[in-house]
Each structure stands twice: as structure tokens, then as C-alpha cells.
Amino acid sequence: MRAEDLVRPCLPSKRQWGYRNKLELGAARAENGEFLLGFHREGTHEIATPAVCPLAHDAVAKAPKALRGALRFAQGSADLGIFRVGVRHSVRTRETEIALWTKPGAFPRAHVAKTLKSALKATSIVRVLADPGRARKIKGVETLDGKGCWGEELADARFLTSAPSFFQVNTAQAEKLAAEVVEGLGGRMGEEGPEGLDGLLVADLYAGGGTFSVPLARAGADVIAIEAAGSSVRDLRRNAEMNGVDIEVVGGDAARELPELGGLDALVVDPPRAGLADGVAESIAEAAPARVAYVSCNPATWARDVARFEQNGYRLARAQPVDLFPQTHHVEVASLFERE
């Protein structure tokens, strides 16, 4: 079968437990007024309140219990409008950030920051002002203590990430994704970093903070990065400068910006779980890159998009599953298409 020839064995994660660099905790008030902090039970708004999370790095595995107690004390009988708490930790940089997602309004910044620091050692504590709900519109980010962002190292490069911005939760496995993309487009990942893409014009759609853009640029490619989220656009520009690479950053929607790019040698696309929006595969085909690296976190929408690419003059050359989420059924796929 063609699938057996194309799909390689899944690349396993060395860490089967303690691999997550990020925790997202939901916050709410119980009927008796008690502050709850934990994980949403699947398919409900109920919050489970475990003491630890064994999937998280050891340094923050006990964060759910520690932060629950600290925030109960910090708030007292008041309601500070906290509806979500994010925690990020890096085993490489040793940096930890606590992000409180709250409704806009008055907030005892110094008191809360001091209380959180006593509960969990953090290099950054921030407050993200937003309204609860699925379509959260970020109204601002306040630094309560520390550097105001989270630092991580990936593929011999340094990345700074703002609390609202996306970063892969399994850094070591994300490094394998980056290697698949660079090598799929003809480059190499060595001990001194990526190389071998000199002069190649590459577009990176849904670029985030530069997980692929920075290694591609360090390999010598001329990179145009397109990203819609404002915080990620700012992170990407900062990360490019910090790593000494030139990346043309375009803040906008991939489907709208793609037709304006002109001739491309290669293209990278890493869309959200919903996959490519209608018409994007066709727009990519019109841009006519010789190779397309498609990274997906949802094999179902990826399979749908494979069919779209093959209907528009591209052939799937290989697919490499990568296990970023041990103990779950989720898997990432790094795939390569070649223009026929």
C-alpha cells in the first residue's frame, strides 16, 4: 500500500512522563464561594482539583495545589476575576512563568505577585487582561514581577514567548519537528545548528513565535513569516533579532496574505487543529513552491488536506508522525509534498 511506503514509524518521546513545559488551569468559584483551580473534566465546565500533574516538568508538577492555595489566600473573600492560570517551565533555561488570566478591572498587583512568589519560584509573573469565553480578545498584558515573558531553547536557538502566544508543549519533540521541516526542504540539522538552505525563498504560514522560521533562516533561507496573532508577531520579531537572523514578518491572515507573496521555492504550513482554511491549498498551488512542509496536530484534517494538495498538483512524498503528547492519543505529523 502507498500509505505503508509513505508513513514512517512514529518518533517516540524520550520522556513519557514529565514532558510538558506548560500547564493550563481553569479557575472558577464553587457554589459555596470556594476558589477552584484545576483541569476541566472532559466535555464539561466542572473543574477537577488534583494536587499534582505528572505530565508536567518536575519543577511545576505540584503547581496546581501550590497556586490554588496561594490564590485562595491572595483573594480572601474578594473575587479578582481570575478565570485561567497558565504555568510555563523550561528544563533548559530554568525559567518559570505564571500567567493569570483575568477580567479587566482593579487588581492588587504587588500583593498577588508576592503571594505567588512564595508558593512557586518564578522568573516572570504576568496578568493577561481578557474576557472569558472561547473567542478571548486580549486587552493587555501586565508584568507583575520579573521579566514579563518566558525563555526557552530549541534547535540551538533562543525563544522568548509572551503569555498569550503559542509554543509547543514538548520542547524536545518540537525540536524533531523542526529538524523534519529543515531536512525535508533540503537542509541539515547539525551540532552547530541548521544549514544548507542558502538563498531559498521560504514562506512560513501560521508562523507563531518562529519555531520553524528561525531554524530555516539560520539554515540560510530567505524567510517570509505570516502570523495573525499580535502577541506572536511581536515575539517572532524579537526572536529573529535575538538570534541574529533576518525574517520578513507579515502580521495577517495566511489565506489573505499568501496570494501577495509571488514566486516561492518552498513553503511551511503549521495550521491549528481545524487544518487549512478553504482555498488555502489552492492558493499555495498558485504560488507554486517546489516543496511544501505541512506540520499537523490533527491527522483527520491533515488527511483531508492531503487530498486537496494532490488535487492541485502536489504529491505526498513522506509523512513522519512525532509523539509530542505521551499518555494521550494525540500525535503530530510532519509531512512533505513535492510539486508534480
CATH number for the domain including 186? 3.40.50.150
Task: Tell me, yes or no, if 53 is annotated catalytic.
Answer: no
Task: Indicate the residue among 127, 153, 179 that finishes a domain.
Answer: 153
- 105 and 28 share a domain? yes
- 332 and 190 share a domain? yes
User: Angle at the Cα of 42 (from 36 to 45), degrees rounded to 5?
Assistant: 45
Question: Does the pLDDT of residue 221 top 90, yes or no?
Answer: yes
Residue 135 has a pLDDT of 61
Please report, for the domain that includes residue 52, its CATH number.
Answer: 2.40.50.1070
| 195 burial type by CB count under 10 A (0-12 exposed, 13-18 middle, 19+ buried) | middle
Question: Does the pLDDT of residue 295 top 90, yes or no?
Answer: yes
Residue 53 resides in a domain: yes
Task: Indicate the residue among 128, 153, 178 that finishes a domain.
Answer: 153
Residue 263 resides in a domain: yes
- 114 and 211 share a domain? no
User: Average pLDDT of the chain?
Assistant: 94
Task: Indicate the residue among 104, 124, 153 that finishes a domain.
Answer: 153
Question: Does the pLDDT of residue 247 top 90, yes or no?
Answer: yes
Residue 44 has a pLDDT of 85
Residue 193 has a pLDDT of 75
In terms of residue numbers, what domain contains 97? 22-153
- 175 and 94 share a domain? no
Residue 270 resides in a domain: yes
Per residue in 309-329, pLDDT (tens digit) is 999 999 999 999 999 999 999
- 145 and 178 share a domain? no
- 117 and 54 share a domain? yes
For the chain, what percent of residues have pLDDT higher than 70?
A: 98
Phi, psi of 268 (to 5 degrees): -120, 135
- 44 and 113 share a domain? yes
- Of 180, 156, 179, 178, residue with least CA distance to 167: 178
Calculate the CA 339 to chain-centre distance.
28
Mean pLDDT of 260-279: 91
Residue 160 resides in a domain: no
Spatial distance between the Cα atoms of 19 and 148, rounded to a whole number of angstroms: 23
Residue 1 has a pLDDT of 64
Residue 163 resides in a domain: no
Residue 180 resides in a domain: yes
- 149 and 295 share a domain? no
Spatial distance between the Cα atoms of 290 and 264, rounded to a whole number of angstroms: 8
3-class DSSP assignment, residue 17: coil
Rg of the Cα atoms in the chain = 21
- 324 and 221 share a domain? yes
Question: Does the pLDDT of residue 134 top 70, yes or no?
Answer: no
- 196 and 323 share a domain? yes
Mean pLDDT of 45-52: 92
Q: pTM for the complete prediction?
A: 0.93
Residue 11 binned pLDDT confidence (cut-offs 50, 70, 90): very high
Residue 164 resides in a domain: no
Per residue in 75-132, pLDDT (tens digit) is 988 899 999 999 999 999 999 999 999 999 999 999 999 999 999 999 999 999 998 8
Residue 190 binned pLDDT confidence (cut-offs 50, 70, 90): confident
For the chain, what percent of residues have pLDDT higher than 90?
A: 83
Catalytic residue among 10, 53, 149, 297: 297
**Number of domains within the chain:** 2
Mean pLDDT of 24-48: 91
Residue 159 resides in a domain: no
Question: Does the pLDDT of residue 250 top 80, yes or no?
Answer: yes
- 117 and 225 share a domain? no
Spatial distance between the Cα atoms of 215 and 222, rounded to a whole number of angstroms: 11
- 35 and 142 share a domain? yes
Beta strands in the chain (DSSP E): 22-29, 35-40, 47-48, 82-89, 96-102, 124-130, 138-146, 150-154, 157-161, 188-190, 193-195, 201-205, 222-227, 247-251, 266-269, 291-296, 314-322, 332-339
